[in-house]
Amino acid sequence: MAYLWVKVFHILMVTSWFAGLFYLPRLYVNLAQNSDATTQEVLIGMAQRLFRFMKPLAVLTVITGLILYLFFGVGKGMVWIHVKLVLVFALLVYHWYCGRILQHFKSGTNTKTHVYYRWFNEIPVLLLLLVLILVVIKPF
């Protein structure tokens, strides 16, 4: 029964974290498109609060995932779990880079266009798709 509870909380943390990973870059699209100082201030405030909210979700996602792996043996000895861990690491780097981008907007040093952020926004979608394929289908 403990396994199922940890799995429920892992899915909840992943879902919540991804909500932020999907929405934060969308705020960056709006920030890159808008030069109005008041709007910039509001969007930066929204992005800061969202990023602050996302940090513990990322940590809890990793912790619950490690519990599933280390204590319940989910994926042990299988190739797919190693590929998944690489993708999770890529998501953590993406999350970190979102924080760096936020610092650029706060300091007024952003040089990227809204088109860049529109493409940047697609990265977590692709990574999530790959992770889901690995977890559900377990191709190897």
* Domain boundaries defined on the chain: 2-137
Q: Which pLDDT tens digit goes with each residue over 12-48?
A: 999 999 999 999 999 999 999 999 999 999 999 999 9
Residue type, 115: V
Instruction: Quote the percentage of the chain above a pLDDT of 90.
Output: 100
Helix, strand, coil distribution of the chain in percent, nearest 5? 85, 0, 15
Contact status, residue 102 vs residue 53, Cβ threshold 8 Å? no
Mean pLDDT score, 85-110? 98
Residue type, 139: P
Cα–Cα nearest to 7, from 53, 56, 102, 75: 75
Per-residue model confidence (pLDDT) at position 95: 98
